[in-house]
Chains A and B, each alone.
Chain A
């Protein structure tokens, strides 16, 4: 059973008098526990595609199924619920909540989105912080840790809900190459440990080479189809 299925997926933006066809009828499938990269130049539609898979932006037309559910026409509230249950996000700028500690940032989706009981929540957060090597940094605030550590926390936050799918938009763009490699390695380890599918967009050739499957986009279409890494 595939985790993501897209058929004739399209996304069109209208900005004033200009109509931009960001995604032009792409078809693809992504299997569970895969490590996928969307690559392509700026404006090729990588982020738009990630946003549609992440139920942040509805498709203009076509069909999109994620984790066995048709997400083509979800309301904003249902999208939020679906994201909270099935999808984790890793952002380029880490996007940790500054008033929460590292522990609380990872705990946030369990507490504010999924209402897990306290004891279960704490146990799960500790497990995840240990897995990403941040177990001893839980009491620190985001401004007290490095960029690489922030991204580790973001990985833990994305995985803490047992998400089937983690979407990472340029996850290494704000990190040095050494840290970038560590983060990619960490994501791979997490994929191996939890069986989570990782889809990320990137420009970075060093990151691309770690991907097992690469989709190259140009002007909203696949360029040369899917490449198995």
Chain B
């Protein structure tokens, strides 16, 4: 009778072998339908929990960071050394001098990563509506520069004209002060400020708009024109308190920070001390700590997912090996090499991981789409009605899916190894 010679090993044989291993693995998984389903559901729930958490927390984080950098801080800020440590008292004697400002300007103009920058004078003043007086913190800005550097600032004007931000002689009043001092658009108020020499000066301003308060440093400051601040404080030099910088891509923040530090660091004063300090928004806003906490929570949620997948797959595969000891013995006896037995059980674990992950990803994407359609809003501090718009990056989906599948394979390695190393005689005797 004609017999077939074993064909030589090549890629085609590998493909056929893998196909038959997958076929056998699928049948074995279908053999214990309930157990396969339960394990897959567990993996699915884990994947859904992680992806939803990543998408919701990520969207919240991105929204808050966007609001902080695009409507208030910018990505980077340059100050005179020591300014930030005493920022609460808004010290005018720690402003950057005109010459120093020019140096920074020259560096920023030559950096292709910088999209825009804005010069600011920060000051404290007395705010009077002619019958009552209160304290106010102010940011004096060049409107054109400021709109380019923090483009979302204009969205914080909740009453009044938005176009052009503001003109000389106008003020944008923070919401709380406007409410407390009962001022309306078009009202005239007086700002009284003390300059760095201690002399006091006052100047009338027309209320152009009401500015929404947001969480974080400078989130409840009023806004006036830079030239008005110079006049009010009788500053003759082109000095400023801070230079806020917007980058073309936030991803280049640390790279530009290093470049600025390299260029500005060597500049020293007469005492031989550095003149400048450069900070990212992360150092300026306490929200960065919240963002870091969100990242930490995401990490722990991922660890939990890994544990769920590891324990459930390992449990299932250990059971599968135990229940099929006799079958493993038969396969080994009729000539199946240990590597093929190992592959079979590992493919089963891999398929369980794939199955649970695929369903989990689909359910997560549908849920995320549903949440966006439902337009869920939430409050953060004094900010009401923030719209939750969860999104998930493809890289996050791929990472989570990759972790789950890798852990599924890893979890099946030990039981599969045990099956492959099993002594055929012992296995065949197993009842």
Contact = CB atoms under 8 A, between A and B. Distances in A.
Interface stretch (B4-12, B115-123, B228-236, B274-282): B4-12
Q: Which 3 A-B pairs have the closest CB atoms?
A: A84-B335, A99-B27, A162-B3
B330 A114 contact: no
B344 to A, nearest CB: 9
Contact of B334 (A98, A113, A162): A113
B399 to A, nearest CB: 34
Contacts of B425: 51, 56-57
Interface residues of A, number: 42
A115 B6 contact: yes
Contacts of B428: 56, 91, 95
A117 B330 contact: no
A198 interface: no
A219 interface: no
Given A56-B425, A99-B28, A100-B27, A81 B7 contact: no
Interface residues of B, number: 31
A81 B27 contact: no
Interface of B: 1, 3-4, 6-7, 9, 13, 16-17, 20, 24, 27-28, 30-31, 326-327, 329-338, 340, 424-425, 428
Given A91-B330, A124-B3, A127-B1, 18 more contacts: A51-B425, A56-B333, A80-B336, A81-B337, A82-B335, A83-B333, A89-B330, A89-B333, A89-B334, A95-B327, A98-B327, A100-B24, A109-B335, A110-B4, A112-B340, A114-B6, A114-B335, A115-B6
Contacts of A108: 334
Contacts of B30: 99
Contacts of B24: 99-100
A116 interface: yes
Which of B4, B16, B20 counts the most chain A CB atoms within 10 A?
B4
B4 A97 contact: no
Contact of A83 (B4, B16, B335, B338): B335
B1 A85 contact: no
A85 to B, nearest CB: 7
